[in-house]
Structure 1
Amino acid sequence: MRFLPVFLDLQAGPVVLVGQGELAQAKLRLLLAADARVRWFATDGRHDVSRLDAAAASRVAFADGDPLTADLSNVIAILCAGAGETGHAVAARARALGIPVNVMDEAAHSTFIFPAIVDRGDVVVAVGTGGASPVVARRVRERIEAMLPARIGDLASFAGRWRDAIKSRLPDVAMRRLFWERVIDGPIGADVLAGRASDANRKLTSIHDPVAFAASGGEGIVTLVGAGPGDPDLLTVKALRALQDADVVFYDDLVSPEILDRARRDAARVPVGRRVGKPGIGQDKIHRLLIEAA
């Protein structure tokens, strides 16, 4: 993985757009959809915002000077689309100033790339291929679009509104995660996804003891997952869900790194079993570790 996916706060400062034509227009629409403030250097001198509504157009500042000499001191990112050689020169200046820059379809001149985006309000999924194939990224995005519930963003917003209140009542991180798993996966989450937000709020308000609610899921469980021939694409849906829900993953040398990469990023990973050239810890020891972890 060469490019680390990050989410840029576009309220932190203006974004500079350099370019012209439909390519620049497409980037402009994308930026404005994220509520960005845009400073646009139109390389053909035409700042066409006729297709934007008044609110969006008000966030576009027309820049008539030279982007190679303009003051960029408060700029958080620079985008070049349809800018030709000017884009290359702007990119070199941005690099020298330490400003993130993207030149459309030219990774060699860019310090970041644009992913294919799934936008569900507060739920945003970014799919990238390191700039190698935007078409592949779009196809993956289409599959994700088909999988996600229409109101998944509403569910994230619902949880966000309650986040501080629950955090103050549940300072323990692990217990708080259990609480939210029960909320998201249970009837409250189902209410939000079905458009019954008022019912969801009522049910969450009625939880007087969040610790007991979080713990009511029962004791910890141990799930045995078969890794098959080692191809992560052959994992069952249940196996993938178990890996992504697990707090601790025990594995041996027969489990490929690609399979382990499907586990939750913050899950503990414990190697067990026989390793090449070394004796194994024994099945009884493995059983004890599983019981202790559960």
Structure 2
Amino acid sequence: MRYFPLFMDLTERAVLVVGGGEVASRKTEALVRAGARVTLLSPEISESLQVLWRDDALQWIEQRYDSAFLTRNYVQVWATTDHAPLNHQIYADAKLLGLQVNVVDDQPYCDFITPAMIDRGQIQVAISSGGASPVLVRNIRESIEAVLAQNLRVLAQFCGEKRDHLKVERPDVSARRRFWESFLADPCVKETHDPAVLEQIYQRYIAAPMLRGREVIWVVCDTDVELLPMKAVRFMQQSELVFYHRNIPAEGLDLCRRDAERAVFDSRAQLQGLLTKAREESLNLCILVTVADFQVVADLKMKGERQFGSGLYQSE
């Protein structure tokens, strides 16, 4: 992974865009929507940029580029002109000041790159190929757009408004997590665009007793993680605790819930010790083992605990 993915808060942060054409328009419009204080440096700008300028959404310096306009006040510099040598000069000048630079469509001169975005209000999905294949990224974006619920904007706002209330009703972190999982799995929640309906469902779940189930699954994870059944992946995503063999491929571990507690083991004795403690707790547990090591630890599996994986697709 060459690029570390992150979402940067640009609200009221100063950003310089050098250029005023179509490329500058696309980038500037996105920056303005993100709340950045954009300064455009260009003798001419497009009509769409002029509209933003007349609406006081950005500042326009109507001059050609000069390094004197660069200051350390800017958190980002975008070089969007159609003249490569000038863009490269902007990059060099900005680096002297320690500024982060993006020379659009010129990856060697980018400290950061912008992914393809899917925007559902507070829900944002970013997709990147590290600059390798923009067309592939576009195809992936179209596929994801087709399956994402259209009510995510309303749902995200509702959940955000209820966070403090739920902390009072469910002081335990695990209890809150289980509440949201049940609430978001409700078919009506997945479909409605009406906050009033969401409120009714929320109050119903708040009033319901907190039932606590516990699931333990064993996943035999080979190098080709795509062979894992979807049911196994679903359970992996629900696990609150993950024990994994040190030889488990990173792709397999990535399928587990990101905020789950994790512990690594490299011997049967270590896993046995972890299981002894874990079985005293009421947490959904996932044990990831390699094909080679499963037979060594299989006897630690208790009745009622499911298992999935290579050659073991039946659940028990």
TM-score range, shorter chain: 0.7 to 0.9
Spell out, residue by residue over 1:36-88, the C-alpha distance to the aligned partner (whole angstroms, 9 max, x if none). Answer: 3311112xx11223477569842121023545111533322121223532222
* Equivalent residues of 1:272, 1:280 under 8 A apart: no
Consecutive unaligned residues of structure 2, counting only runs of 5 or more, are 269-289, 307-316
CA 1:105 to 1:252, structure 2 compared with 1: closer, same or farther past 3 Å? Answer: same
1:230 pairs with one of 223, 230, 236: 223
Tell me, in whole angstroms, the C-alpha distance in 2 between the residues paired with 1:167 and 1:136. 41
What's the % identity of the aligned pairs?
32
Query: 1 or 2 for the larger relative contact order (CA 8 Å, sep ≥6)?
Result: 2
Where 2:114 maps in the other structure, the secondary structure is: coil
Tell me, in whole angstroms, the C-alpha distance in 1 between the residues paired with 2:47 and 2:105. 24
Give 1:206 deviation, angstroms.
5.2
* Equivalent residues of 1:123, 1:156 under 8 A apart: yes
Larger strand share, 1 or 2? 2
Where 1:108 maps in the other structure, the secondary structure is: helix
Consecutive unaligned residues of structure 1, counting only runs of 5 or more, are none
Spell out, residue by residue over 1:239-288, the C-alpha distance to the aligned partner (whole angstroms, 9 max, x if none). Answer: 22222221223445785332222212232144477689999864343549
| Partner residue in 2 for 1:31 | 31
CA 1:93 to 1:174, structure 2 compared with 1: closer, same or farther past 3 Å? Answer: farther
Q: How does 1:58-73 map to 2 (within 5 A)?
A: 58-65=56-63, 66-73=65-72
TM-score (norm 1): 0.81
CA 1:251 to 1:55, structure 2 compared with 1: closer, same or farther past 3 Å? Answer: same
* Equivalent residues of 1:32, 1:56 under 8 A apart: no
Q: Which amino acid aligns with 1:239?
A: A
Which piece of structure 1 moves more, 244-253 or 149-158? 244-253
| Partner residue in 1 for 2:238 | 245
CA 1:176 to 1:3, structure 2 compared with 1: closer, same or farther past 3 Å? Answer: same
TM-score (norm 2): 0.76
Where 1:238 maps in the other structure, the secondary structure is: helix
* Equivalent residues of 1:92, 1:109 under 8 A apart: no
RMSD (Å), alpha carbons:
3.2
Spell out, residue by residue over 1:151-191, the C-alpha distance to the aligned partner (whole angstroms, 9 max, x if none). Answer: 1122111101111222244343222222221222225633x
| Partner residue in 2 for 1:220 | 214
* Equivalent residues of 1:253, 1:273 under 8 A apart: no
* Equivalent residues of 2:25, 2:48 under 8 A apart: no
Say if 2:69 is the partner of 1:75. Answer: no
| Partner residue in 2 for 1:200 | 198
Which piece of structure 1 moves more, 200-209 or 257-266? 200-209
Q: Which amino acid aligns with 1:78?
A: V
* Equivalent residues of 2:39, 2:59 under 8 A apart: yes
Tell me, in whole angstroms, the C-alpha distance in 2 between the residues paired with 1:176 and 1:151. 22
Q: Which amino acid aligns with 1:242?
A: F
CA 1:91 to 1:232, structure 2 compared with 1: closer, same or farther past 3 Å? Answer: same
Give 1:11 deviation, angstroms.
0.6
Tell me, in whole angstroms, the C-alpha distance in 1 between the residues paired with 2:66 and 2:168. 48
Where 1:69 maps in the other structure, the secondary structure is: helix
CA 1:222 to 1:67, structure 2 compared with 1: closer, same or farther past 3 Å? Answer: farther
| Partner residue in 2 for 1:97 | 97
CA 1:282 to 1:236, structure 2 compared with 1: closer, same or farther past 3 Å? Answer: closer
| Partner residue in 2 for 1:285 | 300
